[in-house]
Amino acid sequence: MTAANLTLQQSAFIDSIGDTDISINFLELGILPGKEIKLLKKAPFGGPMAFLIEENIIALRQQEAILINLKS
Amino acid sequence: METTLATQTKTIAIIGNPNVGKSSIFNQLTGLNQKIGNYPGVTVDKTVGFIRIGEKEFNLIDLPGTYSLYPKSEDEVIAHRVLNGLGQEKPDFALVILDACNLERSLLLGTQVMDLGIPMAFVVNMKDLAHKKGIHIKTFELYKSLGVPLVLTDARNNEGMDSIRQVMSEEKFESPKPLLVSADFANPELLNQVKQRFGFENSYQAFQLLVFGEFDKTLSIADKDWLNEKSNVFDFDSKKQQVRETEARYVKISEILKKAVSRDKVKSSNVTISLDNVFLSPVFGFVIFLGIMLLIFQAIFAWASFPMDLIDVGFAGLSGWIYENLPAGVLTDLLAEGIVPGIGGVVIFIPQIAMLFGFLAILEDTGYLSRVVFLMDRLMRPFGLHGKSVVPLISGMACAIPGIMAARNISNSKERLITILVTPWMSCSARLPVYIILIGLTVPDTLWMGVSLQAVGLLAMYLLGVLFTLLGALALKFILKTKEKSYLLTELPIYRLPRWKTVLLTMFNKSKIFVLEAGKVILSISIVLWVLASYGPSGKMEALENEKTAILENTPEAGWPTVEEIYASKKLETSFIGIMGKAIEPAIRPLGYDWKIGIALLTSFAAREVFVGTIATIYSIGGDVENELTIREKLVKEVHSDTGEKVFDKATGFSLMVFYAFAMQCMSTLAVVYRETKSWKWPILQTVVMTGIAYLAAFITYQIFS
Three-state DSSP at B488 gives coil
B467 burial level (CB within 10 Å; 0-12, 13-18, 19+) = exposed
B449 burial level (CB within 10 Å; 0-12, 13-18, 19+) = exposed
Distances from the Cα of B409 to the Cαs of B77, B95, B358, B404, B678, in angstroms? 13, 24, 21, 10, 17
The rounded distance, in Å, linking the Cα atoms of B262 and B328 is 80
pLDDT interval class at B6 (50, 70, 90) = low
Which residues fall within 8 angstroms of residue B582, CB to CB, at 6 or more apart? B573, B595, B598
B409 burial level (CB within 10 Å; 0-12, 13-18, 19+) = buried
B628 burial level (CB within 10 Å; 0-12, 13-18, 19+) = middle
Kindly identify which residue of chain B lies nearest to residue A41, measuring between CA atoms.
Answer: B280
pLDDT in tens, B133-163: 888 999 999 999 999 999 999 988 889 999 9
pLDDT interval class at A16 (50, 70, 90) = very high
The rounded distance, in Å, linking the Cα atoms of B427 and B419 is 14
Three-state DSSP at B658 gives helix
**Of A20, A29, A45, A11, which is closest to residue B370 (Cα–Cα)?**
A29
pLDDT in tens, B639-678: 776 677 777 888 999 999 999 999 998 777 887 788 778 7
Inter-chain touch A58–B489, beta carbons under 8 Å = yes
Q: Which helix (H) or strand (E) covers residue B501, if one does?
A: helix B500-513
| B246 vs A contacts (CB less than 8 Å) | 24, 27-28
Residue B626: the pLDDT is: 39
Residue B37: the pLDDT is: 66
The DSSP-derived string for B139-182 is: HHHHHHHH-S-EEE-BGGGTBSHHHHHHHHHTT--B-PPPSS-G
**Of B196, B181, B237, which is closest to residue B213 (Cα–Cα)?**
B237
CATH number (2.90.10.10, 3.40.50.720, 2.40.128.50, 2.30.30.90) of A3-70 reads: 2.30.30.90
User: CA angle at residue B55 from B54 to B60, to 5 degrees?
Assistant: 80
pLDDT interval class at B2 (50, 70, 90) = very low
Note whether B104 contacts A: Cβ–Cβ < 8 A. yes
| A55 vs B contacts (CB less than 8 Å) | 101-102, 133, 270
pLDDT interval class at B112 (50, 70, 90) = very high
| A22 vs B contacts (CB less than 8 Å) | 487, 489
Which residues partner with B456 through β-bridges? none
Inter-chain touch B387–A26, beta carbons under 8 Å = no
Least confidently predicted of B275-284, B305-314, B586-595? B305-314
Kindly identify which residue of chain A lies nearest to residue B285, measuring between CA atoms.
Answer: A43
Contacting B residues, span 647-706, partner chain A, CB-CB under 8 Å: none
pLDDT interval class at B267 (50, 70, 90) = low
User: CA angle at residue B461 from B460 to B465, to 5 degrees?
Assistant: 115
pLDDT greater at residue B559 or residue B109 = B109
Distances from the Cα of B370 to the Cαs of B349, B490, B685, in angstroms? 28, 8, 32
CA distance A24 to chain B (A): 6
Contacting B residues, span 126-155, partner chain A, CB-CB under 8 Å: 133
Ramachandran bin of B87, using left for φ above 0, alpha for ψ from -120 to 50, beta for the remaining angles? left
Helix, strand, coil percentages for chain A (3-state, nearest 5)? 20, 40, 45
Per-residue pLDDT for B618 more than 80? no
Contact B164, B29 (CB under 8 A): yes
The rounded distance, in Å, linking the Cα atoms of B706 and B652 is 8
The DSSP call for residue A6 is P
Which residues fall within 8 angstroms of residue A56, CB to CB, at 6 or more apart? A29, A30, B102, B105, B491
pLDDT in tens, B429-448: 778 878 888 888 888 888 87
Among A41, A57, A64, select the one facing B488 at the smallest CB separation.
A64
Average per-residue pLDDT for chain B = 84
Contact B529, B604 (CB under 8 A): no
Per-residue pLDDT for B35 more than 90? no
Per-residue pLDDT for B518 more than 80? no
Note whether B1 contacts A: Cβ–Cβ < 8 A. no
| B276 vs A contacts (CB less than 8 Å) | 40-41, 50, 57
Residue B627: the pLDDT is: 42
**Of B372, B376, B472, which is closest to residue B419 (Cα–Cα)?**
B472
Residue B622: the pLDDT is: 44
The rounded distance, in Å, linking the Cα atoms of B382 and A45 is 12
Inter-chain touch B492–A59, beta carbons under 8 Å = yes
pLDDT in tens, B352-379: 778 877 888 898 889 898 899 999 999 9
Q: Which helix (H) or strand (E) covers residue B462, if one does?
A: helix B453-479
Note whether B269 contacts A: Cβ–Cβ < 8 A. no
The rounded distance, in Å, linking the Cα atoms of B58 and B40 is 22
Contact B127, B152 (CB under 8 A): yes
**Of B381, B370, B403, which is closest to residue B487 (Cα–Cα)?**
B381
CA distance B14 to chain A (A): 19
| B379 vs A contacts (CB less than 8 Å) | 47
B520 burial level (CB within 10 Å; 0-12, 13-18, 19+) = exposed
Residue in B72, B75, B274, B490 to test binding to A, most A beta-carbons within 10 Å = B490
The DSSP-derived string for B503-540 is: HHHHHHHHHHHIIIIIHHHHHHHHHHHHHHHH--STTH
Note whether B370 contacts A: Cβ–Cβ < 8 A. yes
Three-state DSSP at B452 gives strand
**Of B209, B185, B211, which is closest to residue B197 (Cα–Cα)?**
B209
The rounded distance, in Å, linking the Cα atoms of B631 and B179 is 67
Residue B628: the pLDDT is: 41
* Cβ count near B233 (within 10 Å): 12
pLDDT in tens, B454-494: 888 888 998 999 999 999 999 999 998 877 788 898 899 98
Distances from the Cα of B277 to the Cαs of A43, B228, B269, B493, in angstroms? 12, 49, 14, 15
User: CA angle at residue B656 from B463 to B470, to 5 degrees?
Assistant: 30
- On the CB side of B452, how many CA atoms lie within 13 Å of its CA? 19
